[in-house]
Structure 1
Amino acid sequence: MADLIESVGQLLREAAATVVLPSFQHLAEDEVEEKAPGELVTVADRRAEEVIAAGLRALLPDSVVVGEEGVAADPSILGRLHDAGPVWIVDPIDGTGNFAAGKGPFAVMAALIRDGAPVAAWILDPLTDSIAVAEAGSGAYVDGVRAAFPGNGLGTDELRGAAMTRFLPPPLRAAVRRGTPTLSEVLPGQHCAGKEYVDLVTGRQHFVLFWRTLPWDHVPGVLLAQETGGVARRLDGGAYDPTDDRRGLLVAANDAIWVQVHDALLPDGVR
């Protein structure tokens, strides 16, 4: 697996260097479009996914690729997540809105699943060339250094994290706003799930709350979090499963913090 971890990381770096970064801050108007209300796609997203998908298939010839742009073109591809595997999940540019606006953060992400369970993950920040990787049962690493959340025994009023409230149903959004003052800081989010997850596993924040939970946005980061002792659960406390399409996900640096944040922001009866 070590060779595969290295090979995929190099593939993502090559795609970033040859496709993503050359387009950054150089996109023409006709190279950005809205594929769904509020959802942008660029020529770089599509081309990067093509390059990454071809490289991943070459690494594991019996594999299939479930990529964000591929699913946008053919939603039936999403059903391949139920395959016995190996299945690759690819987000060619996570944070496309930032990328299209000529600013960071954005990320290039991939994950490998077998029998529906993540076994490896990669999150690359093209602007800094920083890469976070994880292998199930073997830990998570950021630029070769093992990630380990340092905080234990934190009070609720010491916890800092992000909550993506834009798409929350109104009752849930109102509950989060009521609970915000009980925490140290609730950030609005960086419009890049990959950056949120890396900030979590490196201790910059203690939790992150999402509503939209598409697999390419979350499978890589969830494995990273879990490999540093973090937990990712649905808002009702159920386990995160990349093959289900429910919404709502709370990820925290450990179980105790998950409970503290859940009790603060999502009181009983509000889901």
Structure 2
Amino acid sequence: MIEETETIEEFLVRHSADVEEAVRTAAAAEIMPRFRRLAEHEIDQKSGPHDLVTDADRLAERYLTDRLGALLPGSVVVGEEAVHADPAVYDALHGDAPVWIVDPVDGTRQFVHGDPGFCTLVALARGGVLLGSWTYAPALDLIATAVRGRGALLDGQPLRSGTPDAGRALRVAHSHPDYTTDEQKRSLLGLYRDGVEPRACGSAGLEYLAVARGELDATAFSWEAAWDHAAGLLLVEEAGGAHLTRTGAPFRITGGNALPFTAARDERTAHRIAALLTEPAGEPRVPSAG
């Protein structure tokens, strides 16, 4: 609970471990017992066959909503499944109260298919500013955290994104074709040229973690749902990276961004990828099948 004279930043320093414990508990109680054990009645479609939700998503979000709200009285929770049930919940991002942004299972498609490449994402924001970040991949036993102005950690150790090696093609994960409009696909084609090694993304949260670890040079995403991006953007930023929309402005979690946008290991790489997303496609290399 926040003390009367305590700032949100001071609260985060004091309670980051409590948030981590809540995320771990949600995974242990609701997510991992269902991993590779899901019954058909525990899986539903939302907008289509690629947009899945499971009992693990719903129950983990319910637990985190209760736990995080109790940890910071006066805060509100914007969770993916709550917004699906009531889109007005998303409006809290524009309010004055601290907002927990929750994706209980980022990479639900991977989770459903028994792939360990999924994670739980939690971020804390106020007034559109990201303040705290937690990324937990329970099947991979990885936890990454960040507090604005205090750096990023992976399993408790300092995390730095570094810079891409000179002369090597940039490794970029971009929006999966299943989740992009025709216009966004055309913009992403700018990545398919010499000097870039693009591929379709998996879990957005784990792609951001890969950028923060220096295993991936950048992402290029064409949607702006806050629960997919909030935790990862602060993680990358605090690890030394940068994020830009296709017009060169920083990404805003409150929306209204020029898409696609990029998050990269360093500012120079972010500008380079953003430029590829805005320039005419010309004659890019044709993406290989699969």
Tell me the TM-score normalized by structure 2: 0.87
Match of 2:127 among 102, 115, 129: 115
1:141 correspondence with 2:169: no
- In structure 2, relative to structure 1, the CA distance for the partners of 1:128 and 1:171 (3 Å cut) is closer
Amino acid corresponding to residue 70 of structure 1 in structure 2: A
Match of 2:221 among 199, 210, 218: 210
The Cα of 1:91 is off from its aligned counterpart by: 0.5
Tell me the residue number matched to 1:98.
110
Match of 2:57 among 26, 45, 49: 45
Match of 1:79 among 91, 101, 110: 91
The Cα of 1:146 is off from its aligned counterpart by: 1.0
The Cα of 1:114 is off from its aligned counterpart by: 1.3
Does the Cα contact within 8 Å between 2:123 and 2:231 map onto a contact in 1? Answer: yes
The Cα of 1:206 is off from its aligned counterpart by: 0.5
Which stretches in structure 1 are left out of the alignment for 5+ residues?
Answer: none
Amino acid corresponding to residue 24 of structure 2 in structure 1: R
Amino acid corresponding to residue 164 of structure 1 in structure 2: S
- In structure 2, relative to structure 1, the CA distance for the partners of 1:184 and 1:178 (3 Å cut) is closer
* Greater alpha carbon shift after TM alignment, 116-125 vs 173-182: 173-182
4+ residue runs of structure 1 moved beyond 6 angstroms? none
Tell me the residue number matched to 2:248.
237
Equivalent pairs, count: 268
The Cα of 1:115 is off from its aligned counterpart by: 1.8
- In structure 2, relative to structure 1, the CA distance for the partners of 1:264 and 1:122 (3 Å cut) is same
Tell me the TM-score normalized by structure 1: 0.93
Q: Secondary structure at the match of 1:182?
A: coil
Does the Cα contact within 8 Å between 1:214 and 1:245 map onto a contact in 2? Answer: no
1:158 correspondence with 2:169: yes
Matches of 2:116 and 2:277, distance apart in 1: 28
* Greater alpha carbon shift after TM alignment, 261-270 vs 17-26: 261-270
Tell me the residue number matched to 1:66.
78
The Cα of 1:197 is off from its aligned counterpart by: 0.5
Matches of 1:163 and 1:199, distance apart in 2: 13
The Cα of 1:266 is off from its aligned counterpart by: 3.5
1:29 correspondence with 2:40: yes
The Cα of 1:175 is off from its aligned counterpart by: 4.9
Q: Secondary structure at the match of 1:150?
A: coil
1:131 correspondence with 2:118: no
Q: Secondary structure at the match of 1:71?
A: helix
Does the Cα contact within 8 Å between 2:31 and 2:56 map onto a contact in 1? Answer: yes
1:255 correspondence with 2:267: yes
Which stretches in structure 2 are left out of the alignment for 5+ residues?
Answer: 1-11, 283-290
Tell me the alpha carbon deviations over residues 223-263 of structure 1, each in whole angstroms, 9 at most, x when there is no partner: 01111221112112122111114442211111111122233
- In structure 2, relative to structure 1, the CA distance for the partners of 1:242 and 1:195 (3 Å cut) is same
Amino acid corresponding to residue 220 of structure 2 in structure 1: L
- In structure 2, relative to structure 1, the CA distance for the partners of 1:179 and 1:2 (3 Å cut) is closer
Amino acid corresponding to residue 8 of structure 1 in structure 2: V
The Cα of 1:181 is off from its aligned counterpart by: 3.1
Matches of 1:154 and 1:173, distance apart in 2: 28
Does the Cα contact within 8 Å between 1:180 and 1:265 map onto a contact in 2? Answer: no
Tell me the alpha carbon deviations over residues 9-68 of structure 1, each in whole angstroms, 9 at most, x when there is no partner: 011001101110001111111110101123100011000000111110111121111100
